[in-house]
Structure 1
Amino acid sequence: MNTTEEWLHAATIDPSVGALRPDYRALLIVGEGLRPGPGDAFSEEMLAEAEAKACDPEEHPHVAEWREAFRAFGAKPKRTRSSVDALLRRAPEGLPRVDRLTDIYNAVSVAHVVPLGGEDLDHYQGPLRLTRAEGTEPFELMSGGEPVTEHPRAGEVVWRDDAGVTCRRWNWRQCVRTRLTTQTTRAVFILDALGAMDDAALEAAGRALTDALSAGNPEAVLTSRLLRATPA
């Protein structure tokens, strides 16, 4: 892909996912010229505010819909939680502190009750696409300090590129190949919405993320695209 716009245009949601959840939308935001590094006062303030205002995941309709979506492809939501469900459960004891970019998107995720992930765009191979796995695709992770390759279950909803799975079970766990680091300057952020989160709320979450990424970094270039599921 020669440009960011071309890469975003090539991103797709497979009709098999649309058949599962026709209300699904993905807001993709690409940031270039980002300021990476360890957490700082700005990201810490965002996390602290998100912790203070975090809702009860048992009471929020968007979290409930994600549990239904996970059940629909065979995942057990009490064992395999959507990313926002897992974060909200950690909020009372303190959200994780990872790095500046990850901390920013985690804070937005909790504040807006939306699954939100970030990936290093320089480590992608080919376009991003959401599909249901065949079960043979490689998924790279670390276990006990050693690299390990696993495979998703057939029918599992996964994000992937030409090299393999980048995130398993829709938004449950990211691979190590494309994860953000303290050196990441080009990233794609994925905001996942189901029916309980309307377009206006999704756009508001996207604005919160872009405003935070731009804060103190006016050189950053941010580009977005909204993808909608379309059943076959």
Structure 2
Amino acid sequence: MDIVIDPAVTALRPDFGVLAVKVYGLRNGPSDDRSRGWLAEAAQGAAGPDHERVEAWRDAYRGFGAKPQRTRPSVDALLRRMPLPEINQVVDAYNSISVRHVLPVGGEDLRHYVGVARLVRAAGDEVFDTVDKGEVVVDHPEIGEVVWRDDHGVTCRRWNWRQCVRTRITEETSDALFLLERLEPMPVEELSLAGEELVGLLREITPDIRVESSLHVPG
């Protein structure tokens, strides 16, 4: 699978790893009793925001100049939102996995993705479309910020803080890329397990999906 991690990111956090999972043929829909159950179960056993894995992400943010108290890593922000928000079945699935395993999980609509997924240090002139006061606006990352991007622009700012509008997963999404991100002290084995659990939930939504995955970890 085409995933590129810039050496400048690896130099910043040599312990970074990502499990990339591409899923084809999803039939997504609004949140339902099943997906609400996933969220409720995850919330019942949720870790606190002072968990060591959350702190590892805060430290990573500080490493490229971000202030994690103002722009929180995605898993930190999610653990502070109880009850967990209902978005749609697929997003509910990956949010529940994020909370259960205390790791950031992102989802991208592949039909709106352009080229290869790349994790880089930003030049500062990349395009990022976001929402401000209900309107879609174009923004730009800060120089040196860690971002996910494709050939069109930034798909997620500050590593996993905020996703762009263009590639977010909606009820119309059929093909998706999921990025499960890990720092120490999370074991690589648990990262793989979290991916398997995510695919299991997605198969409950759509039994006949096609799945491709690749693991990118140190060493």
Do both share a fold (TM > 0.5)?
Answer: yes
Tell me if the contact between 2:89 and 2:205 (Cα under 8 Å) persists in the aligned partners: no
Please, what is the CA RMSD of the aligned residues? Answer: 1.1
Number of residues paired by the alignment? 219
In structure 2, give the amino acid aligned to 1:54: A
Measure the CA separation in 1 of the matches of 2:182 and 2:205. 28
Q: Out of 113, 121, 132, which is 2:121 matched to?
A: 132
Q: Once the 2 structures are TM-superposed, how far is the Cα of residue 42 of structure 1 from its aligned partner?
A: 1.4
Q: Give, as a single letter, the amino acid of the residue that structure 1 aligns with 2:121.
A: R
Among candidates 69, 74, 89, match of residue 83 of structure 1? 74
TM-score using structure 1 length: 0.92
Give me the TM-score of the superposition, normalised by structure 2: 0.97
What does 1:39-188 correspond to in 2, within 5 Å? 39-58=31-50, 60-91=51-82, 94-188=83-177
Runs of 4+ in structure 1 deviating by more than 6 angstroms, as ranges, are none
Give the C-alpha shift of residue 222 in structure 1.
1.1
Deviations 1:34-81 (A, max 9, x none): 1201011211110010111111121x2111100100000000011111
Q: Percent identity?
A: 52
- Which of residues 8, 12, 22 is equivalent to 2:14? 22
Where structure 2 has 5 or more consecutive residues not aligned to the other structure, the ranges are none
Tell me the distance in 2 between the aligned counterparts of 1:150 and 1:216.
34
Cα offsets for 1:7-35 (capped at 9, x unmatched): x2x21000000000000001001111112
Identify unmatched segments of 5+ residues in structure 1. 1-7
Counterpart code for 2:185: A
* CA distance, structure 2, for counterparts of residue 90 and residue 142 of structure 1: 20
Between Structure 1 and Structure 2, the one with more helix by share is: 1
